[in-house]
Structure 1
Amino acid sequence: MSSQLQSVMESLIAVFHKYSSKEGDEHKLSNAEMKSLLQNELREFLAVSQDPMFVEKLMNDLDENRDGEVDFKEFVVLVATLTVACNEFFVGKTKR
Structure 2
Amino acid sequence: MLTLFRTTAILEGISYLALFAVTMPLKYLADLPMPNKYVGYAHGVLFIAYVVLAILFWRTKKWGFKKGFILLLASLLPFATFYVERKYLAPIAD
TM-score (norm 2): 0.36
Is the strand fraction higher in 1 or 2?
1
Larger relative contact order (CA 8 Å, sep ≥ 6): 2
Is the helix fraction higher in 1 or 2?
2
TM-score (norm 1): 0.35
